[in-house]
């Protein structure tokens, strides 16, 4: 399993763009990168997934450099409701059981 | 209606008691999981099941057992609860949404073992 490293916490202000970077130096060829969001006392929720380059959806963008040893989750113009823990997971796309949730990054958005 | 439901949502029990946490899903997914989360920490996988006849131990299965009664139901049992099993327990399912394998989590069961 590819181990991931993310900052423990980050602070931001409403309206700013937030970038959370995850390191995964041992990512395997078949591994995808997936990000989840978790609010207090709720289960994690899928945000975005990618394999390489850039992926964008209505919630976020995911930037993956050519060597795939890291990835950056970008949240445009955050609001207070984006305060949550964000998890970066790396694993094969067809093996949900192999996804390992680390400690995540605790994002605090301030007014 | 929620796709993944868990019962009970909160439970207080005593050391040595047997307790069962239940999970149901309407996603039609074959894969189901049980995780526990301790305060300030990430999720740790207890058991997972790829289909009704397939049960696998996760990272921290000691002290727990599971039953996959049907595709839609996956129960977690604590045979003899102990205080360090006090945690937030999540059930999840996973399926491929287009090209993506995505996990869907239930609302969680908060368990306190006295």
Give me the residue label for tokens 């999540």. B90
- pLDDT score at A94: 61
The pLDDT of residue A35 is above 90? yes
A40 close to B (CB below 8 A) = no
> Mind listing the pLDDT tens digit for each residue in B51-67?
999 999 998 999 999 99
Nearest to A94 among B101, B108, B110 (CB): B101
Nearest one of A39, A20, A26 to A100, comparing CA atoms: A26
Helix (H) or strand (E) holding A86: strand A84-92
Please state, as a whole number, how many other Cβ atoms lie within 10 Å of the Cβ of residue A53: 11
Strands (E), B1-114: 4-7, 10-13, 19-25, 31-37, 43-51, 54-57, 64-70, 73-78, 87-97, 100-105, 109-113
The pLDDT of residue A95 is above 60? no
Contacts of B100 in chain A (CB under 8 A): 32, 34, 46, 49, 93
Quick check: helix, strand or coil at residue B79?
coil
Nearest to A87 among B42, B88, B106 (CB): B42
CA distances to B35, B77, B101 from A62, in Å? 26, 38, 16
A99 close to B (CB below 8 A) = yes
> Mind listing the pLDDT tens digit for each residue in B84-94?
999 999 999 98
Contact residues, chain B to chain A, C-beta under 8 Å: 4, 31, 33, 35, 40-45, 48, 50, 56, 58-59, 88, 90, 92, 94, 96, 99-108, 110
A55 close to B (CB below 8 A) = no
A96 close to B (CB below 8 A) = yes
pLDDT, chain A, mean: 90
> Mind listing the pLDDT tens digit for each residue in B24-45?
999 999 899 999 999 878 888 9
**Do β-strands B43-51 and B54-57 pair in parallel, antiparallel, or remain unpaired?**
antiparallel
């Amino acid at each position: 399993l590819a181990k991931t490293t993310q900052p423990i916490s980050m602070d931001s202000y409403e309206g700013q763009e937030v970038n959370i970077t995850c390191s995964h130096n041992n990512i395997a060829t078949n591994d995808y990168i997936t990000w989840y969001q978790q609010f207090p006392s709720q289960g994690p929720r899928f945000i975005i997934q990618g394999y390489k380059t850039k992926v964008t959806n209505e919630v976020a963008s995911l930037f993956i450099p050519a060597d795939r040893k890291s990835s950056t989750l970008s949240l445009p113009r955050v609001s207070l409701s984006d305060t949550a823990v964000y998890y970066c997971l790396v694993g094969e796309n067809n093996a949900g059981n192999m996804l390992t949730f680390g400690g995540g990054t605790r994002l605090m958005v301030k007014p | 209606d929620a796709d993944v439901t868990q019962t009970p949502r909160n439970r207080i029990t005593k050391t040595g008691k047997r307790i069962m946490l239940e999970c149901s899903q309407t996603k039609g997914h074959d894969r189901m999981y049980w995780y526990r989360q301790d305060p300030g920490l990430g999720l740790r996988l207890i058991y997972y099941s790829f289909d009704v006849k397939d049960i696998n131990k996760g990272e921290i299965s000691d002290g727990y057992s599971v039953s996959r009664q049907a595709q839609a139901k996956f129960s977690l049992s604590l045979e003899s609860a102990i205080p360090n099993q006090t945690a937030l327990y999540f059930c999840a399912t996973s399926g491929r949404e287009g090209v993506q394998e995505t996990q869907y989590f239930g609302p969680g069961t908060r368990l306190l073992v006295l």
